[in-house]
Structure 1
Amino acid sequence: MPPAARRPLSFQDLIRFQELVKPPLRKALGCARIDLLPPPGPGEPNQELLHNALQNGRAVLDLGGGRLLIPLLDGARPLGLLAAHGVSEAQLPDAVRPFLAALVETSLTLVRSRLAAQRDALTGLGNEAALDEALTSAAARLTQAPPTGRLALDGEGQGEGLTLVAIRAQGLAGWQERHGRNLSDQVLGELARLIGEAAPQALVTARVGQTFFMLLPGSVQAARRAAEALQRSASKLRLEGARRDPWPVSLSLGASHLGHRGAGPACDTAALLKLRAGRALLAAERTGQEELLFFQEIAEKAGQVQEVMPLDRVLINLGRMHGLTEGDRLAVREPGSPPQVSKAEVAVSKLGAEESLAEVVSLASPASPLRPGDVLRRLPPQDASAEEPGHRQSLSLPGGEVAVTLEQATGALERRSLMAVYAALCAAGEPLAAVVLGVEDLESVAEVTGRLGAEALLAGLTEAARESFGPAALLGRYSPEALAALLPGVEAEQAAQAAGATLDKMREQGGRPVRAGVAAHPRQGFTVEQTLYDAAKALVHAGFLEPYSVVACDAVSLNISGDAAYGQGRLAEAVAEYEKALLLKADENNVLNSLGVCHGRLGQMEQAAECFRRAREVAPQDYMAHYNLGLALLRLGRRDEARTCLERGLELEPEHADTLFQLGCLAQERGRTNQALNYLQRAAARADCKKAVHCRLGLSLAAAGQGAQAEAAFKEALKHNPRDAAALSGLAGLYLEREANLDIALSLARRAMQQEPGAVQHPLTAGRILLKLGRARQALDLIDDALERHPRERRLQELAELAQEAAQA
């Protein structure tokens, strides 16, 4: 690993610190817009001026584009270019050009200085300052999503966001103690290299002490894949100490994930991501897990008994910060035993922030007492009538007498008691309103002000709710960050007014923003048991609105809930939510669209098409309804109808990349090459185009005889997906036509055959290349194998005859 000070600059460095590079030139040239461009690749068309600027190291005026191209060089190595728009030739006398070069070098020196200040000297990765800056910047870019999604039937990138992964080598401290700092530094350097290779897409990689961090864009699944790649690479390292005793490298990995939208101010969101990743790492180390452990999985995968105490009590390593609530039940088993074999069951009796006390509810055998290190697994909630640990009070309710426990911090019902009260009220079947009041990002409050500060905030919310809702209200802890109010005999409008009064009191007090969700029974088509949960869904809906918003559960709330279930792959649950939303508003086109997408993903394409038709009738100007209906009809084989829908969608949104892509594919199928090229080139020019567009574009360009452009398109396709069989085979075919790079062409065709062994095009291409190379016997063997799978394929039969003749010649 080269020392940090000598690490060469990269284009990514310029992107990261572009505000150090652009302003001096913007001021010197008096222009409002300066773009940062990457160096053009070899052979890219229409890039002559960019190449000239980089090769000569001098600014070039692009008269046609109305811009000045300023090269950015690290020594003689091109980094990129600045394109300053609106610069005239009169501004560039000969004396100005050396001044521009000096200004650029000064800007690059500033970038190098900033990098040196934020780089770890040992590994070349970022230091803690770089990590914090990258976290805050990434969190600031997370945008508030619209309250209702616009799902596409072929949508990509569900569940995108940010994942921060914390990594530590197990046993490194002991290795350093035995063999000294030099060898442990070698380990850290090797790990830094492996992390960079496993996660080239990382927004930042950093080292803080013996802990590494990588910030990854994208989904949870993408982070798991990167972690698995890193574990595989690390397991192959075999480092030897001074006495040649080998040390197999094993990693512990913890992570925290944030979806598409932030949780409050960017600095708080960044601190929360970092805090949770660290907690997940500690939990993974404590339990010896080698797979990536996410913060939200700690309660299910990393719970342990810390200490066995008198009077059948145990101290456990889980608390409110891990999503635990008072009364939660946990199964206890010995380490290494099957998950279904439990030795005891415990229930949380005193909830702490990170540790809790639990009481033994049942013990399988007195001969197998609980021991420190026993593994915990959270159990699903019991029936509300189940016995509850702790001090009891009794409430007389319409549904009967209920024993309850009050929280010490707030005086409200703890979670399990709240659910027991709720069950009793539901059993009575009388009118009921429920309000859920949520404090925005309470966990970061606990991090800044401590547990007492967070509890004081909740206590203040409870007191404000008591004043607003009145003495008949039953208040209890719904979740670690939310309070619930159960209001027997109250209607939705009255409950919303009281919730608004509570939020007004909290606004006057200042502090964290609070929001509220409201639902009430009776509602046509809904049971009383859904009321509290629908209030919680309304609270999620309120989270998309301004602070101190009150939302009564409506079709939008249920649409958001359905979208959340859809994003997590729970399609049947999403369908149920969308159908309930339609009970509240039958003509909600976003809900109809989302329901159609779910049916499509479940393979129920006729139902999907019907939903999209209804969405189109409700909102005929919504291009997404036309697009999704077109896709459903395509999958039903009704191509003419599909093309009509897609064309109408394109009229409404002329630059929708996915519509252009689908129309381009349809034009390809019909042999209309020029039309396909028009659609696909327009789609490829869009930043949000499907990655598959490049392969399709390459096929059309090749059919049009534009070999150089087709080659560039195939290479772009392989950059995004190295396993794209059609692009591999298409590029091989281009090389064959040019009779150039035939060995490379054969390798590409064989890789295509490996990816799609059942496709006929790939052995055809490989066979022709083998014939061109004079290897007729190999070509004949390959074609004979393909004929066994495709005995009636005429093209293979003709190629087999040619190969037979060549082999006999």
Structure 2
Amino acid sequence: MLPMNPHTPFHEETRIRLTRRDLIRYENLLRDSLSRVISFKSYSLFFPRTPVAPEAVWEPQDRKLLIPLILKGELLGIFVARGVGGRPARTLLAAYPAVATLCLENLLLYKMSITDPSTGLASLPYMLDVAAREVGLIRECFRPGADSRCDVATLGHRACMGLVVLRFSSMPAVVRDCGYLFAEQLCALLADELQAVVPEQAFAARTGDSEMAVFLPTATPRVCRKVAAEAVRKLRAVSLLHELRDEEIGVSVAAGFANYPQDMNGAQFERPEAEQARMLLRKARTAASVAVEDAPGTMQQVMGFGRILAEGGRVQEVLPMNRVVISLGAAMDAREGQRFSIWSHVRHASGISGGAGVSGAQDEKPAAPSVDPAVPPLPSGARQEHTLMYKGELVIMEVRENSSLAEVMHLGDPAWSIAQGDRLTLLPEDKDVSAAGAVSDDGAAASADPLTGLLRHRDFLARWTRDRDLCSGYTLALMRLTGESRQHGDRSPHAEQLMAQAAEACRARLAELQPAGGDAVSFGGRYGLNSLIHFHPDVPVDKVYDCYTELCEHLERKLHIEAAVGIARHPYLNFRKPDSLENCQKALEYAMLMEKPRVGVIDTWALNISADKLFSQGDTFAAIEEYKLALLADENNTMAWNSLGVCMAGLGRHSEARRLFGEALQRDRRDVMTLYNLGHVCQNMGEYDEARQYYRKCLKYDKEHVFALLRLGQMAEQEKKFGPARQYYNRAARLDGAQALTWRNLARLCMRQGRPDEAREHLHQALIHNPQDAISLQLLARLYLEGGDDPEVASVLARQAVALRPELKAGWLDLARALEATGRQREAAEALSRAAGL
């Protein structure tokens, strides 16, 4: 390669160029750069369709300065500054184009700092920064009541996002065989193809030498899977001719994706936003690593992080005493007590191939081949086929970071042993286990865990299934040691000793919970490396709660062991006996959120938290059932009434939602969240007077409720009361952190008042704060069309708007206008047909 010319700008050696879209994207940086030289009160950008003179133009009657934005001889746009002083404008008029060019060069330098020079994709730090900001926006959507700064209906912001990681597993071999420069050229071709696949609102980044990623705001798992599958299909078709070898070289591609908040849980939501962004990338990389190993050579090598636990596990190592190491760990959300079925691909000869060489079927690699010594070798020339064979079941005993230690519960056929590479499939939670033959009648001493003296996991479940029918009522208590060293399966010499000490403390402290009479007695068992579970028949739950509270305090005070306990009682509501174990898990999740001592009982709040988790995962109907159970436990739970109303409103059942919000308001007249929700649902039903009353009551108890002010402003704007509407918007804009929420509303108001320049400024500000605001993109596209600007820019903005909100009819109509103006009649007709269908 020839050395770089020292007189050539270094940015000319890269694939990075500045475009008109970049002017919109980095408009705030351009404004700040020019404001250091030019003093102005307001500004806007124009994109003329025809060439203009390269000189700046001063219009004294309007105090307006028009500066051409020219870089490397190309006119990118015009910066219009308003409120400029006449004397400096006339004095420096000839210098302004050069000043603007310097600002554009600085803008290009900034773009280069956040872009990979070889591929033109975004850099890893930039993608993580954008993801962290998106995490912040999503977290705002989940903040309750008046503290929230996000409103889905106001912003059009969907509280989710996704990261797709594309792993090129054969790229190191390409580097080894063809060299680094050839690999860089191939990466550039892959990047170009990936850019064509990425949706309008998303962007691609290079995250490693053999890895690229796609950031998808507002994306659900279904959208991520669709984009990942399309990217894998397209990138597998990319190849580059290696002249020396006279061979087309490509790469193998696999994709993994993770979604926020669906693939996050528990304390992960409490981490800093930047930390959560990196955790999401790690989860996507984990999914990509699993996809690389899963069915190599198939056309659909895509794995979502949420599916790893269900279908992505493998046996990594076989240990003595029926123990195995599996590829699922804390990083994949595995936990103690989970059960998996074991499967293996069994090969067998189905015939003799036609030739003496390697048959075509042998070129096809099986999915996760099993290295099983019990499988006999195939005859020479035989064609091998693979059949899934069930081998048995295992249960996780110890969870580590990226793997787990599991115990084989039973084998399907003793002749077929567990082998490295066997596949795992997650089984439903154990709710009912047959006790036949599982434990002996004398108390299962023979199946006791040697470390704690308690029953093993499977034996505890079997005995509980038998003994729960011998008493009128019982309590299950699930204890988890929550020390940081044991959350990820620490193998320090003292960890198992601490577990033994905790079990001994349980025996001593829980002796008083033995029932006075009856056929059933209290007993305990292991529930993984750091968990214990106890069964207490015919003991009042209050007594159990007090006893476990004292036990947790004793463990921390004497043994320095932090513990959390979830308690479930039966009978409780309409739950069946097998549901008690799941209720224990819900109570434990509730306890983990408490202050010490962390002891939670299944009650209305535990059910409420469980319902919130289901709702955040997108399972609205399951969340509705759980909220109803929370209300069945305590009808005065206003949070459950309110959350249930939100679910109904999301399903379009506004009358039912209004009734539920009314129930919540009867129990707490000053609940700001309920007052706002009532106003919102009344507004959607067209009852504006009542909606206005609820919004004003909301402001009575919380004068800084941003969304109540915005809603009142919108209703005033609809009634063409522009003065009061502007007052409400300005009140909202004065609140800390609320300016970004008001720009779009002020822009729409300015458009109705015939002030397009001011509207354009507000929309630019709105997009600076939230680039995924579909309504702002659509309104800005309309302004560019009506202002006679470049329709290509308008079409780009309209495409982004409809990509974010496919149901936005106005966006499709504006896209059709923009496409028609650029001469793409067929695409314009298609956009019109989409609009007609809405």
Please, what TM-score do these two structures have when normalized by structure 1?
0.65
Question: 2 CA distance for matches of 1:767 and 1:627?
Answer: 38
Q: Which stretch has the larger CA shift, 505-514 or 644-653?
A: 505-514
Q: Which stretch has the larger CA shift, 667-676 or 163-172?
A: 163-172
Structure 1 residues 280 and 127 mapped into 2: Cα distance closer, same or farther (>3 Å)? Answer: same
Indicate whether 1:238 and 2:239 are aligned. Answer: yes
Task: Kindly provide the CA deviation profile for residues 87-122 of structure 1, in whole angstroms up to 9, marking residues without a partner as x.
Answer: xxxxxxxxxxxxxxxxxxxxxxxxx9xx99x99999
> Is the contact between residue 675 and residue 695 of structure 2 (CA under 8 Å) also seen in structure 1?
yes
Q: What secondary structure sits across from 2:491 in the alignment?
A: helix
Structure 1 residues 275 and 669 mapped into 2: Cα distance closer, same or farther (>3 Å)? Answer: closer
> Is the contact between residue 404 and residue 413 of structure 1 (CA under 8 Å) also seen in structure 2?
no
For 1:317, the equivalent position in structure 2 comes to 326
Which of 378, 390, 394 is the equivalent residue of 1:344?
A: 390
> Is the contact between residue 264 and residue 441 of structure 1 (CA under 8 Å) also seen in structure 2?
no
Q: Which stretch has the larger CA shift, 727-736 or 146-155?
A: 146-155
Structure 1 residues 232 and 639 mapped into 2: Cα distance closer, same or farther (>3 Å)? Answer: farther
Structure 1 residues 147 and 52 mapped into 2: Cα distance closer, same or farther (>3 Å)? Answer: closer
For 2:384, the equivalent position in structure 1 comes to none
Question: 2 CA distance for matches of 1:729 and 1:124?
Answer: 29
Indicate whether 1:414 and 2:423 are aligned. Answer: no
Question: 1 CA distance for matches of 2:156 and 2:462?
Answer: 40
Matches within 5 A, 1:556-575: 556-575=605-624
* TM-superposed deviation, 1:258: 3.4
Task: Kindly provide the CA deviation profile for residues 388-447 of structure 1, in whole angstroms up to 9, marking residues without a partner as x.
Answer: 99xx542568xxxx8994445544333333333333343234232222222337676546
> Is the contact between residue 733 and residue 765 of structure 1 (CA under 8 Å) also seen in structure 2?
no
Indicate whether 1:500 and 2:549 are aligned. Answer: yes
Structure 1 residues 555 and 188 mapped into 2: Cα distance closer, same or farther (>3 Å)? Answer: same
For 2:375, the equivalent position in structure 1 comes to none
* TM-superposed deviation, 1:490: 1.8
Question: 2 CA distance for matches of 1:609 and 1:333?
Answer: 54
Q: Which stretch has the larger CA shift, 584-593 or 287-296?
A: 287-296
Q: What secondary structure sits across from 1:586 in the alignment?
A: coil
Indicate whether 1:554 and 2:603 are aligned. Answer: yes
Indicate whether 1:728 and 2:772 are aligned. Answer: no
Question: 2 CA distance for matches of 1:746 and 1:7?
Answer: 28
* TM-superposed deviation, 1:532: 4.1
Question: 1 CA distance for matches of 2:607 and 2:425?
Answer: 31
* TM-superposed deviation, 1:609: 1.0
* TM-superposed deviation, 1:750: 9.5
Question: 1 CA distance for matches of 2:207 and 2:812?
Answer: 46
Which of 746, 754, 765 is the equivalent residue of 1:705?
A: 754
Structure 1 residues 404 and 566 mapped into 2: Cα distance closer, same or farther (>3 Å)? Answer: farther
Structure 1 residues 656 and 51 mapped into 2: Cα distance closer, same or farther (>3 Å)? Answer: farther
Structure 1 residues 192 and 507 mapped into 2: Cα distance closer, same or farther (>3 Å)? Answer: farther
Structure 1 residues 565 and 408 mapped into 2: Cα distance closer, same or farther (>3 Å)? Answer: farther
Indicate whether 1:380 and 2:422 are aligned. Answer: no
Q: Which stretch has the larger CA shift, 676-685 or 560-569?
A: 676-685
Which of 424, 439, 443 is the equivalent residue of 2:481?
A: 439
Identity %: 20
Q: Which stretch has the larger CA shift, 430-439 or 282-291?
A: 282-291
* TM-superposed deviation, 1:623: 1.5
Structure 2 counterpart of 1:253, one-letter code: G
Question: 1 CA distance for matches of 2:557 and 2:684?
Answer: 56
Structure 1 residues 540 and 648 mapped into 2: Cα distance closer, same or farther (>3 Å)? Answer: same
Question: 2 CA distance for matches of 1:205 and 1:782?
Answer: 33
Question: 2 CA distance for matches of 1:768 and 1:181?
Answer: 43
* TM-superposed deviation, 1:386: 3.6
> Is the contact between residue 478 and residue 584 of structure 2 (CA under 8 Å) also seen in structure 1?
yes
Structure 1 counterpart of 2:343, one-letter code: V
Matches within 5 A, 1:131-146: none
For 1:659, the equivalent position in structure 2 comes to 708
Q: Relative contact order, CA 8 A, sep 6+: which one is greater?
A: 2
Question: 2 CA distance for matches of 1:382 and 1:655?
Answer: 49
Structure 1 residues 425 and 253 mapped into 2: Cα distance closer, same or farther (>3 Å)? Answer: same
For 1:20, the equivalent position in structure 2 comes to none
Question: 2 CA distance for matches of 1:328 and 1:265?
Answer: 30
For 1:30, the equivalent position in structure 2 comes to none
Structure 1 residues 660 and 723 mapped into 2: Cα distance closer, same or farther (>3 Å)? Answer: closer
Structure 1 residues 600 and 178 mapped into 2: Cα distance closer, same or farther (>3 Å)? Answer: same
> Is the contact between residue 336 and residue 396 of structure 2 (CA under 8 Å) also seen in structure 1?
no
> Is the contact between residue 667 and residue 673 of structure 1 (CA under 8 Å) also seen in structure 2?
yes
Q: What secondary structure sits across from 2:535 in the alignment?
A: strand
Question: 1 CA distance for matches of 2:157 and 2:560?
Answer: 33
For 2:440, the equivalent position in structure 1 comes to 394
Structure 1 residues 661 and 235 mapped into 2: Cα distance closer, same or farther (>3 Å)? Answer: farther
Task: Kindly provide the CA deviation profile for residues 545-603 of structure 1, in whole angstroms up to 9, marking residues without a partner as x.
Answer: 23442233332222111111111122233223222322333222212111211222333
For 2:290, the equivalent position in structure 1 comes to 283
Question: 1 CA distance for matches of 2:809 and 2:199?
Answer: 32
Question: 1 CA distance for matches of 2:156 and 2:531?
Answer: 30
* TM-superposed deviation, 1:620: 1.6
Question: 2 CA distance for matches of 1:735 and 1:319?
Answer: 54
* TM-superposed deviation, 1:516: 1.9
Q: Which stretch has the larger CA shift, 578-587 or 152-161?
A: 152-161
For 2:629, the equivalent position in structure 1 comes to 580
Indicate whether 1:467 and 2:508 are aligned. Answer: yes
List gaps (5 residues or longer) in structure 2: 5-9, 13-25, 41-108, 346-365, 369-386, 515-520
> Is the contact between residue 320 and residue 351 of structure 1 (CA under 8 Å) also seen in structure 2?
no
Task: Kindly provide the CA deviation profile for residues 718-744 of structure 1, in whole angstroms up to 9, marking residues without a partner as x.
Answer: 6646794785366435653x5555776
* TM-superposed deviation, 1:612: 0.6
For 1:430, the equivalent position in structure 2 comes to 472
> Is the contact between residue 627 and residue 646 of structure 1 (CA under 8 Å) also seen in structure 2?
yes
Structure 1 counterpart of 2:623, one-letter code: A
For 2:177, the equivalent position in structure 1 comes to 178
Q: Which stretch has the larger CA shift, 708-717 or 205-214?
A: 205-214
* TM-superposed deviation, 1:774: 14
Please, what TM-score do these two structures have when normalized by structure 2?
0.63
Matches within 5 A, 1:675-686: 675-683=724-732
Q: What secondary structure sits across from 1:412 in the alignment?
A: coil
Which of 264, 278, 281 is the equivalent residue of 1:258?
A: 264
> Is the contact between residue 394 and residue 409 of structure 2 (CA under 8 Å) also seen in structure 1?
yes
> Is the contact between residue 672 and residue 698 of structure 2 (CA under 8 Å) also seen in structure 1?
yes
Structure 1 residues 753 and 325 mapped into 2: Cα distance closer, same or farther (>3 Å)? Answer: closer
Question: 1 CA distance for matches of 2:598 and 2:778?
Answer: 54
Structure 2 counterpart of 1:618, one-letter code: R
Q: What secondary structure sits across from 2:539 in the alignment?
A: coil
Q: Which stretch has the larger CA shift, 321-330 or 665-674?
A: 321-330
> Is the contact between residue 404 and residue 417 of structure 1 (CA under 8 Å) also seen in structure 2?
no
Q: What secondary structure sits across from 2:594 in the alignment?
A: coil
For 1:516, the equivalent position in structure 2 comes to 565
Question: 1 CA distance for matches of 2:152 and 2:174?
Answer: 50
Structure 1 counterpart of 2:264, one-letter code: L
Question: 1 CA distance for matches of 2:278 and 2:795?
Answer: 52
For 1:300, the equivalent position in structure 2 comes to 310
* TM-superposed deviation, 1:498: 2.1
> Is the contact between residue 799 and residue 815 of structure 2 (CA under 8 Å) also seen in structure 1?
no
* TM-superposed deviation, 1:628: 0.8
> Is the contact between residue 332 and residue 376 of structure 1 (CA under 8 Å) also seen in structure 2?
yes
> Is the contact between residue 343 and residue 363 of structure 1 (CA under 8 Å) also seen in structure 2?
no
Structure 2 counterpart of 1:328, one-letter code: R
Q: How many residues align?
A: 676
For 1:490, the equivalent position in structure 2 comes to 539
Structure 2 counterpart of 1:302, one-letter code: G
Question: 1 CA distance for matches of 2:132 and 2:771?
Answer: 31
Aligned-pair RMSD on alpha carbons? 6.1
> Is the contact between residue 633 and residue 639 of structure 1 (CA under 8 Å) also seen in structure 2?
yes
Question: 2 CA distance for matches of 1:588 and 1:733?
Answer: 48
Question: 1 CA distance for matches of 2:798 and 2:258?
Answer: 40
